[in-house]
Amino acid sequence: MDANVSFDPREDAYSKPLDQIDVSVPELYQNDVYQPYFERLRREDPVHYTADSHFGPYWSVTRYKDIMSVAINNQVFSSRWDLGGVRLEDQVQGYERPSFIQMDEPDHGERRKAVSPVVAPGNLARMEGLVRERTITVLDNLPRNETFDWVKDVSVELTSRMLATLFDWPIEDRHRLMFWSDVTVCHVDTPDAPVHSEAERYTELQKMATAMKALWDERAASNSPRYDLISMMAHADATRNMDFRELLANCSLLIVGGNDTTRNSMSGGVWGFSKYPEAYRKLRENPELVPSAISEIIRWHTPVLHLRRTALQDFELGGKTIRKGDKVAMWFVSGNRDEDAIRDPHELIVDRPRAREHISFGFGVHRCVGNRLAELQLRILWEEILKRDFEIEVMDKPKYLRSNIIHGIRELPVQIH
């Protein structure tokens, strides 16, 4: 749509018949034009049905309060992979990935508890020094007054190292983890996607799982306790007997969850401050606002655009009847901009009251397990940026990922002054 200079998303969003609005189109996010469509839905049709889309018929839940009520009602709204999973794009038969995010209770909880200690407060305190050391190294090596890509040189650099640490994976080989992360999240029909079919995706993820299984076997045999994700799963009762397919699914989930969302929030914050320079000025003058600014960046960027559920029974929501078997998308990217829940929602406000109450981590039993690790990494990044008093000039608009699930920033050219 960049090529078509006359295209006005606001005009398009408000002129088409409501029932033609389809917010699952990945180009809306790639071209950064989605907000007017959600604004109209929140006002006129907050629980919205799209009968016909590339991903089949589905409901869109767009208001903060309604998203919350779907998220916490896991009795009615299922995450199960065998019902289609947690993305609008259904799991393809034969290539399903039974990771714990795509399970209901009690299966989900048992497996999640095997890995959650890795990112619990006690373990995070142990990681803080390492995260700071790496952040300092990365920031001190950035060029001055010369354009570079913030995504590649900062966001990917920092989060890929963290990911290697979480898996206790060879750090010099971390680019492979990032590749498998991109393989997991892509829509295979994207022209420059890393894989172009479900079969090809599965083949790559099998290579990943084979490498993980080798580490798993080695660590399962060891009695000395280790705190990486593979060791935790290899030793916990709920996960030690996982078959290869479940291992593949869970590793691919943890790879994406362990880097992609934080990576994009690291880039999203820089872009946000370039749009709201007053907010950055306030943060520089009041560095004690960093924790609140971090929550605000995570809200403002919203790294996961939607997660999907499948209704297990008929359910009334916002005056509409969702039928058993229907797909329901919780659009976090809309809930975080809901004018009824959040004041001046489009603005980045570093001292926003109740900044923690954003919806980016989801709510209910599936709430993001790594949220405190994400916050830790972002907090240290911004603390160290402020210590260096960087002025970050964004040289061009971000290039976004073609995706309706991950709010990915692929490139963000900047200069530091």
Per CB under 8 A, residues contacting another protein are 68, 71-72, 105, 109, 112-113, 116-117, 119-122, 124-125, 354, 356-357, 361, 363-365, 367, 369, 371-372
Six-digit token pair at 270? 């820089």
Q: Is 354 helix (H, G, I), strand (E, B) or coil?
A: coil
Query: What is the DSSP annotation of 355-397?
Result: GGG-STT--STTS-TTHHHHHHHHHHHHHHHHHTT--EEE-SP
Q: Cβ closer to another protein: 178 or 376?
A: 376
CB nearer to another protein: give 162 or 186. 162
Q: Measured from the CB of residue 128, what is the shortest distance to another protein in angstroms?
A: 12
Coarse DSSP helix, strand, coil percentages of the chain, rounded to the nearest 5 percent: 50, 10, 40
Tell whether the torsion through CA atoms of 76, 60, 190 and 179 is positive or negative: negative
Beta bridge partners of 148: 414
Give CA–CA dist 259/161, Å, rounded. Answer: 9
- Phi first, then psi: give them for residue 309, nearest 5 degrees: -130, 165
Report how far residue 279's alpha carbon sits from residue 257's, in angstroms, rounded to the nearest whole number.
28
Is the CB of 287 or the CB of 364 nearer to another protein? 364
Nearer to another protein, 13 or 118 (CB): 118
CB of 21 to another protein, least distance (A): 28
Min dist. Cβ of residue 224 to another protein (A):
23
Instruction: Pick the closer one to another protein by CB: 278 or 340.
Output: 340
Q: Collapsing DSSP states into helix, strand and coil, what is residue 329?
A: strand
In angstroms, what is the minimal distance from the CB of 127 to another protein? 13
Pick the closer one to another protein by CB: 21 or 70.
70
Q: How many angstroms separate the CA atoms of 278 and 293, rounded?
A: 13
**Shortest reach from residue 372's CB to another protein, in Å:** 5
What are the φ/ψ torsions at residue 149 (nearest 5 degrees)?
Answer: -95, 110
Nearer to another protein, 162 or 195 (CB): 162
CB of 141 to another protein, least distance (A): 31
Name every residue whose Cβ is closer than 8 Å to that of residue 217 and which is 6 or more positions away in sequence. none
Minimum distance from residue 408 beta carbon to another protein (Å) = 24
